Amino acid sequence: MKKKLFCAMLALAMLFALAACDGSTPAQDAANDAPVEEDANVTDDAAADAEANEETEDEAQLAGETDSEAANDVTDNTGSTDSAAAPVEGAFKIGGTGPLTGGAAIYGNAAKNGAQIAVDEINASDSPIKFALRYEDDAHDAEKAVNAYNALKDWGMQISLGSVTSKPAEATSAESYADQIFSLTPSASSPATIAGKDNVYQMCFADPNQGSASAQYIGTQNLGSKIAVIWKSDDVYSKGIRDTFLEEADAQGLQIVSDQTFSDGNATDFSVQLNDAKNNGADLVFLPMYYEPASLILSQASAMGYAPKWFGVDGMDGILTMKGFDASLAEGVMLLTPFNADSTDEATVKFVAEYEKRHGEKPNQFAADAYDCVYAYRQALEAADASPDMDAATINGLLKEQFPSMTFYGLTGTESGLTWDASGAVSKDPKGMVIQNGAYVGMD
């Protein structure tokens, strides 16, 4: 029995070694789910032992897992996720990094999920363009993002979805530029992500645009006379929006009565910031941040009886589905976002329904932007007559020609479509939303 167990383990190990040599991943092998033919490299003794082991099925189960179980183990250990569908022959390899674990995981998983829906739709269509999608976990950390990017490059990534959050994206965009792998990030809005890199593009509007647009909206709509700002000093996303907000607020004649900050080390108690805003008579508080700290601010403000108007940014999209948060506290919160999950247009309704079917919740703008990224890639690759047998550098050159000259119509942006300039910046207007009765409602 021990000999049979050993031989079965040896045979399984050699089969995995052969799979690794041919360049495929265990997850891809499991997805193929094809019968494994007898391999000449497996010894006759081992094959005979395995064949003669009909009466010891339990021993075989102890000796090794099924192909699909092994693939799941590898996926869990590496933090990577391959396309949910079976591998498609002649597919472009598209990869991205994002926080799939940790405090920012909701953003990374939303982007991954949105991209996956687009990939599945395109692969099931009659489009000549097909994709194989892979995401790697960067835990919202720049160093880990570079490691994740390198894993994707080793996999054979031909085009990139960059990174989901700004600081990691700044690091991986430098790698994409050096390697000449074209990158289109769904949500990393820092200007440094694309600065000086002619092959790195954004699907989201940049931090400066969002900051100035917020100040303009508050000013033109007369939403507040005394404004407080609470922002995160160690986050390039928050700081970038705050800086341009202050510049435009001055141009709009808005009175900034409180300008308070926090960082990772003190992101749980906002009593100092809230009391400063309250004591200085702020009737509107601007929150350029992601929704996790924003949820704490709203909760603590309610507990102290402070009820100003709240104005946020696209990073707060998703606060209504945050676990453990009383969504009623977000009632009346205003924000700018490129996507409204409650829109009634056909494309949005279809996407939201599919997302809810798969994941049990409404998609946020991170999911919608990633979905749009994949479809924008399809449009550009078709127009360029690109083929998946081209190397990344060749594809990179073709996409650098296509993106500045194309107009794309997606879930995000305006009815007139969106465009890019040669710097990689997208021309896309944010939409003003207010939370009413637990849903996002468009503002004039």
pLDDT profile of the chain (444 residues), mean per 10: 42 39 35 35 36 36 32 38 61 98 91 98 96 97 98 98 96 98 94 96 86 92 95 92 95 96 92 98 96 94 97 86 89 89 91 97 93 98 98 98 96 86 88 86 77
Between CA 379 and CA 111 the distance in angstroms is 19
Distance, C-alpha 174 to centroid of its chain: 18
The predicted pLDDT at position 7 comes to 42
The predicted pLDDT at position 231 comes to 97
CATH 3.40.50.2300 holds for 80-205+346-429:
yes
The predicted pLDDT at position 71 comes to 31
DSSP assignment of 29-79 equals: HHHH-PPPPPPTTS-HHHHHHHHT-GGGHHHHHHH---HHHHHHHHHHHHT
Q: Which tokens sit at 204? A: 């989201």
Q: Which tokens sit at 443? A: 């503002």
Q: Determine the 3-state secondary structure of 339 from DSSP.
A: coil
Q: Determine the 3-state secondary structure of 97 from DSSP.
A: strand
- Ranges of CATH 3.40.50.2300 domains, the chain: 80-205+346-429, 208-337
Task: Give the CA angle between residues 183, 336, 94 to the nearest 5°.
Answer: 20
Between CA 407 and CA 395 the distance in angstroms is 19
Amino acid 76 reads D
Residue range 208-337 forms a domain whose CATH class is: alpha beta
Cβ–Cβ contacts within 10 Å for residue 429, how many? 14
Name every residue whose Cβ is closer than 8 Å to that of residue 405 and which is 6 or more positions away in sequence: none
Length of the chain: 444
The predicted pLDDT at position 444 comes to 65
Nearest to 427 by CA among 435, 419, 417: 419
Asked if 389 and 93 count as a contact pair (C-beta separation under 8 A), the reply is: no
**Looking at the DSSP assignment, which residues form a beta bridge with residue 183?**
160, 200
Nearest to 182 by CA among 92, 302, 75: 92
Between CA 158 and CA 424 the distance in angstroms is 18
The predicted pLDDT at position 62 comes to 30
**Helix, strand, coil percentages in the chain from 3-state DSSP, rounded to 5:** 50, 15, 35
The predicted pLDDT at position 82 comes to 60
Residue 206, φ and ψ in degrees, nearest 5: -75, 160
Residue keyed to tokens 């829906």: 117
Task: Give the CA angle between residues 303, 307, 310 to the nearest 5°.
Answer: 115
Name every residue whose Cβ is closer than 8 Å to that of residue 201 and which is 6 or more positions away in sequence: 182, 183, 184, 185, 194, 403, 420, 424, 425, 426
Task: Give the CA angle between residues 168, 408, 363 to the nearest 5°.
Answer: 55
Asked if 376 and 162 count as a contact pair (C-beta separation under 8 A), the reply is: no
Between CA 228 and CA 258 the distance in angstroms is 4
Q: Which tokens sit at 57? A: 């099925």
Nearest to 172 by CA among 25, 93, 192: 192
The predicted pLDDT at position 47 comes to 37
Beta strands in 52-167 (DSSP E): 80-82, 92-98, 131-137, 159-163
Asked if 160 and 132 count as a contact pair (C-beta separation under 8 A), the reply is: no
Nearest to 369 by CA among 198, 145, 201, 185: 185
Nearest to 94 by CA among 125, 118, 70, 76: 118
Between CA 219 and CA 74 the distance in angstroms is 53
Amino acid 382 reads E
Name the helix (H) or strand (E) containing 148: helix 142-155
Using CB atoms within 10 A of its CB, is residue 56 exposed (0-12), middle (13-18) or buried (19+)?
middle
